[in-house]
Amino acid sequence: MSWPKVKLGEIFTISRGGSPRPIQDYITDSCNGVNWIMIGDTEPNSKYIRHTAKKIKFEGVKKSRKVYPGDLLLTNSMSFGRPYILDVEGCIHDGWLVLSPKNNQIHIDYFYHYLNSPAAKIIISNKAAGAVVKNLNSDIVRNLEIPFPPFAEQVRIASTLDKVDGIRQKRDQAIKLADDFLRATFLEMFGDPVENPKKLKKSPITELADVITGFAFKSNEYINDSSEAVRLCRGANTLTGYLDWADTKFWPKNKLEKLDNYLIKAGDIILAMDRPWISSGLKVCIFPENQRETYLVQRVARLRPRCESYTNYIYSCIKSPAFEKHCCPTETTVPHISPVELKNFEVLIPPDELMVNFHSIVSIINNSLNKMASGDIDSDALFSKLSQQAFSGHLKR
C-alpha cells in the first residue's frame, strides 16, 4: 500500500540557524560554554552528531538558534540536504536547517532515512536554489511532500534500514582497521621514511620503478566508445585507491602509432598530477587486472615497478606523509606535482626479501578488502532497494 503524503512543514517546525558576529568574539574555551555545532563536527556516513569541537559564550545564544537532542538537522548549502540526528544540545549557524517534531507521532529515524534516500536526494537537488552553489531555504523544505505512514510503521521501516546500514558501517570499520594495520606493518618493517631509524639506503624512486607521465592526446580528436576505440586514463578518472570511469574519453585505435609506452598494464601505479590531494587523500591507485586497453594522458603519471614484488612497497611510499612533505615543503596546498618532483622523490631501499614479504602481507589483506568491497556494493544495492520499497509502502514484513 502507499502512504498519504504530507508537507514537512505540517509536522515539523523548520528554522534556519544563525551566527553571532563576529563569531570569533563569541568562541570560548569555558566548559560552561554552549556547544557550537558545525559541519566539521559530522563524521563520514554518520547518522548522529554526538560532540562539537567548539563552544560559544552564553550571550551568543540569542543571536543563534538553539537545538536539542532528537532534532533533525539538514545542511542547507554546499553538501546541501544531508540529514543528521542531534544527540547533543547546542546552537547552529546559518549553514544548517533544524527540523523539530510538532507531535509525538514522529519517529525521527524514519525521517532521517527518507531524507537520506536516493529518491529524496533527487527531489531536494531539483528544488535547491542557487546557480553556482546549490542551497536550501526553509520554504523549500517546508513544502517537501513525503510519505507519512503510521507511527508503528515508521519504527519498523527505520529499524529495518538501520540493520542494513549497520552492516555497511561494520565493513567500513573493518576496512579502516586493515588500513591502519598496513601502515603499522610498513613502519615496523621499514621504519619511518623521514627519520630512517634502520639506516637504509635512500635513492630516487626511479631505482625501483620506471616513471613516465602521459601523452598529450588532443581533445578535439576524442571519439565515442566503440570496438575501434581505446580508453584514456585522465586525472578525473584517478581517485583515492580506485579508478572511476563515469566520465571517460576514448581515442581511435588507428592513431596509436609510437604510443606503446603509454599503454597501462596491470600493476602499474597511477598518480594524478593536478590537484592530487583531495579530502579523501592522494589521488593514486594500482591499475587492476582484466581491464580494457587503456592509455595514459598527460598530467597523469605511471610508475611501473621494476619487479612485481615492489608494487605494494612503492604504492605505500607514494601514499606516505613523506611524499606529501616532499611535494608540499611549505605545508600549503599543492596545485600540481611536477614530473621532476616525482622522479626525485627519495625512498628507502630495503632488501628485496623485505619488500617481497610486505607485498605478500598486503596482497592477503587486499584480497579480504576486495571481498568486503564486493559485499559493500551488495549491501548498498540492498539498502537502496529496501529504501525504495519502504517509502512506497511495499516493504515486506
Q: Are residues 320 and 265 in the same domain?
A: yes
Q: Are residues 59 and 85 in the same domain?
A: yes
Q: Are residues 172 and 137 in the same domain?
A: no
CATH number of the domain that 158 lies in? 1.10.287
Q: Calculate the dihedral angle through the C-alpha atoms of 360, 366, 371, 373, rounding to the nearest 10 degrees.
A: 180
- Residue 286 structural domain: 201-348
Angstrom distance (rounded) from CA 206 to CA 326? 15
Quote the pLDDT of residue 43.
79
The grid coordinates of residue 53 equal 569541537
Angstrom distance (rounded) from CA 79 to CA 116? 12
Q: Are residues 103 and 28 in the same domain?
A: yes
Total domains, the chain: 3
Express each pLDDT in 224-263 by its tens digit.
Answer: 999 999 999 999 999 988 899 988 999 999 999 999 999 9
b/e per residue 237-271 (b: at least 16 CB within 10 A): bbbbbebeeeebbbbeeeeeeeeeebebeebbbbb
Alpha-carbon Rg for the chain in angstroms: 25
Q: Angle, nearest 10°, between helix axes 352-391 and 151-190?
A: 170
Q: Are residues 205 and 343 in the same domain?
A: yes
Do you know the residue count of the chain? Answer: 397
Q: Are residues 397 and 355 in the same domain?
A: yes
Report which DSSP code applies to 205. G
Q: Do 32 and 70 touch, CB atoms closer than 8 A?
A: no
Sequence-ordered strand ranges (E) for 244-367: 249-252, 269-272, 277-278, 281-282, 284-286, 294-296, 300-305, 346-349
CATH number of the domain that 63 lies in? 3.90.220.20
Quote the pLDDT of residue 385.
58
Q: How many CA atoms does the CB half-sphere of 121 hold within 13 Å?
A: 11
Q: H-helix or E-strand containing 391?
A: helix 352-391
Q: H-helix or E-strand containing 169?
A: helix 151-190
Report which DSSP code applies to 386. H
Q: Angle, nearest 10°, between helix axes 108-115 and 151-190?
A: 60
Which pTM does this prediction carry? Answer: 0.61
Q: Are residues 214 and 314 in the same domain?
A: yes
Q: Are residues 26 and 141 in the same domain?
A: yes
Q: Do 120 and 114 touch, CB atoms closer than 8 A?
A: yes
Enumerate residue ranges in the chain where pLDDT < 50: 131-132, 377
Q: Are residues 342 and 205 in the same domain?
A: yes
Q: Are residues 278 and 298 in the same domain?
A: yes
Quote the pLDDT of residue 174.
74
Q: Are residues 137 and 171 in the same domain?
A: no
Q: Are residues 16 and 122 in the same domain?
A: yes
